[in-house]
Chains A and B, each alone.
Chain A
Amino acid sequence: MKKLLLGMMGLLVFTMIGCGGNTTAFSFDASRNITVYTRDTTSGTRDAFFTGIDFSDAITSNGVLVANYVEVDGNGSMITSVKNDIYGIGYISLASLETSGLKGLVFDGVAATEANVLNGTYTLKRPFNYMTRAHWSGMERERQIVEAFVAFMTTIEGIATIQNKAGIISVEANTPSWDDIKSLYPVCLEDNSDVTIYFGGSTSVESVAKALSQEFSQKCGNFIAEHNHTGSGDAYKRTQGSEADGGNKLHIGFASRDFKSSESGDEGTSGFICFDAVVLVVNQANTAIDSITKSEAKKVYSGDKTLWSSLNP
């Protein structure tokens, strides 16, 4: 029994060591395994990513992925996980790259920048879309507020906020200002502080959506914006699909991909917000690669290549 106790003491000593210093950077050892991170199957980012690297089987199935993949359930969790694991690789929304503290990889020779998305050379591009409810029985005020919100997203103020959160969109010459069109939405002159609007859907769109709702709430009677982002799959499901009338219902949902044919909403209930892209990321301490090709990415995620050193720099 004494030996067991000594062993436990040893473990505790290690704990003390751990608490003593902060995580000092270890030197990157390229002979290690690649820890593959992926989003869950309802994620629009996952959809866009696997489509973009020609690995469509992996969009809905985890079985074809490398054996020891780690699944995370949101854009933010992906960032945190790869930040904590120097041997990790993952994929995130381009909009969150600059604030993530991670290294974005050059994909097929093209750097992941807004300019390259706009000129079409960066291929992992995808849209941010929205979808609202089709049936608003008993929710007339909410319907009007959401209608105003959708219009707000197309004004200069809205576009500026979207751009500020790194959504990719340009201001056209005749884009109206909110001040120009707000008379069309009288609901915004009322006091809406007892109205809660439910936002949800993609986690990649979450920071854009939150910034927009926060700003617009002030402009439209101070309604309460409640956000519950759980993945692009819920954008249609919770506004017009199977959960549209349950405890999880949303008034407006966001998706980081196009809506599928099984998700066709009613006429006029969905639309485009801005462009975004998916970017492969690794930890800043990763010295093995700065760029990756489509086929290499597929090999990493399918398990054909498992060591950092096996990747062509």
Chain B
Amino acid sequence: MIVKIDPEANRRTQKSKRFIWMKHSDRFMKGLLMVPTLMSASFVIFIVGFISRKGIAPFLPSVYGSERVNAFSFLSGTTWFVPPNVYGILFIVINTLYIVALSTLISVPLSVASALFVTRILPKKLQGVFKSIIELLAAIPSVIYGVFGLGIIAKSVVRLAELFHAQTAGGISTLTTIIVLAIMIYPTITMMSVAAISAVDPALEHHSLALGATKVQTMTKVTLASAKPGIFTGIILGVGRALGEATAVSMVAGNAGSGPSLMLFSTTRTLTSTMLLGLKETSGMDYDIRFSVGLVLIGVIFVSNFILAHFKKKVGRFS
């Protein structure tokens, strides 16, 4: 038998071995990299899962037995805590929605007007400056907004209350909370509106002007109309931020004990201030119930996002 020795064969094998190794290392890397990705993606589930586990505990007979909280009275209650085991959250939800709605109502017109101003009226050079200012406002940590709220806004509200012959608890009131939140979400909505308005096709505006509309009419009817979806995204982000804001709100809200607080000068209580204030225990029902409040918060954010996104679609249809 003749064994043919082919000098090239060795090299070919080496090459193809390397080729196979390269292909395999690709597949290996792909698999390896999937791990951190799966981890990242699953955090959402972790968060909801673990919070639910602790949050549902107060209502389960298996955990707290006869001391457990009645879920129905929890969801419909108007007093936060009546010892030993009665908690109520409905009025807190009403307060939270009320406050966020009013802050949004104050903030949106100001944001949109500012965005229009920055993109359409300001000369290019100053635009950058204004944008930086807005970005800086967005980057201020919430605790500093809280200090500012206590120091200046609360004091101003006391004076305001004097003018109306109303009484406040040293300025800690619903109105202060609303103002502080409005200031906090203003940069968010403004930045998104600026982006949305900048993306409007200038041709549209030229056409409008050419047809005889004034600059103001163009801005309001044409520019804004086509920027509406983007602005709405900004509003959704702003509302999300306002609903979840904890530190600043708990410093100026007052944590009222009961009843929806619709009067502007009375103290109030929101979902987030409930979670953050009066935090004494790290175990037991009083602690676990805050997770239940957290669950309700997640629910409220989810539902409001859903509703607002629905509106956004409707609004987008007509532009």
- Asked if residues A70 and B254 are in contact (CB atoms below 8 Å), the reply is yes
- Asked if residues B167 and A231 are in contact (CB atoms below 8 Å), the reply is no
**Which residues of A approach B to under 8 Å, CB–CB?**
1, 4-5, 8, 11, 14-15, 17-19, 23, 26, 32-33, 35, 37, 40-42, 60-63, 68-71, 73, 81, 83-85, 87-88, 230-231, 234, 242-243, 246-248
Known contacts A73-B278, A84-B171, A85-B170; is-contact A5 B113 (Cβ 8 Å): yes
Q: Which residues of A contact B83 (CB under 8 A)?
A: 41, 60-61
A17 to B152, CA, bound (A): 10
Q: How far is the CB of B175 from chain A (nearest CB, A)?
A: 9
- Asked if residues A247 and B283 are in contact (CB atoms below 8 Å), the reply is yes
Please tell me if B266 contacts chain A, counting CB pairs below 8 Å.
yes
- Asked if residues A15 and B156 are in contact (CB atoms below 8 Å), the reply is yes
A73 to B172, CA, bound (A): 15
- Asked if residues A248 and B282 are in contact (CB atoms below 8 Å), the reply is yes
Please tell me if B106 contacts chain A, counting CB pairs below 8 Å.
yes
Task: Report the nearest A residue to B81, measured CB to CB.
Answer: A62
Known contacts A19-B156, A68-B266, A70-B256; is-contact A243 B162 (Cβ 8 Å): no
Please tell me if B273 contacts chain A, counting CB pairs below 8 Å.
no
Residues of B in contact, count (CB < 8 Å): 39
- Asked if residues A18 and B156 are in contact (CB atoms below 8 Å), the reply is yes
- Asked if residues B280 and A42 are in contact (CB atoms below 8 Å), the reply is yes
A63 to B162, CA, bound (A): 29
Please tell me if B110 contacts chain A, counting CB pairs below 8 Å.
yes
Q: Which residues of B contact A234 (CB under 8 A)?
A: 280
Please tell me if B160 contacts chain A, counting CB pairs below 8 Å.
yes
- Asked if residues A14 and B160 are in contact (CB atoms below 8 Å), the reply is yes
Q: How far is the CB of A200 from chain B (nearest CB, A)?
A: 10
* 15 sampled A-B residue pairs with Cβ under 8 A: A4-B109, A5-B110, A8-B109, A11-B179, A14-B160, A18-B157, A18-B158, A18-B159, A35-B169, A60-B83, A61-B83, A73-B277, A81-B170, A231-B280, A243-B283
- Asked if residues A70 and B79 are in contact (CB atoms below 8 Å), the reply is no
Please tell me if B284 contacts chain A, counting CB pairs below 8 Å.
yes
A133 to B179, CA, bound (A): 47
Known contacts A70-B169, A85-B169; is-contact A18 B257 (Cβ 8 Å): no
Q: Which residues of B contact A62 (CB under 8 A)?
A: 79, 81-82, 257-258
A5 to B108, CA, bound (A): 10
- Asked if residues A23 and B109 are in contact (CB atoms below 8 Å), the reply is no
- Asked if residues B255 and A71 are in contact (CB atoms below 8 Å), the reply is yes
Q: Which residues of B contact A246 (CB under 8 A)?
A: 282-283
Please tell me if B272 contacts chain A, counting CB pairs below 8 Å.
no
A79 to B160, CA, bound (A): 23
A73 to B258, CA, bound (A): 16
Please tell me if B281 contacts chain A, counting CB pairs below 8 Å.
yes
Q: How far is the CB of B64 from chain A (nearest CB, A)?
A: 13
- Asked if residues A40 and B170 are in contact (CB atoms below 8 Å), the reply is no
A101 to B30, CA, bound (A): 68
- Asked if residues B156 and A85 are in contact (CB atoms below 8 Å), the reply is no
- Asked if residues B113 and A87 are in contact (CB atoms below 8 Å), the reply is no
Known contacts A8-B110, A23-B158, A81-B169; is-contact A248 B82 (Cβ 8 Å): no
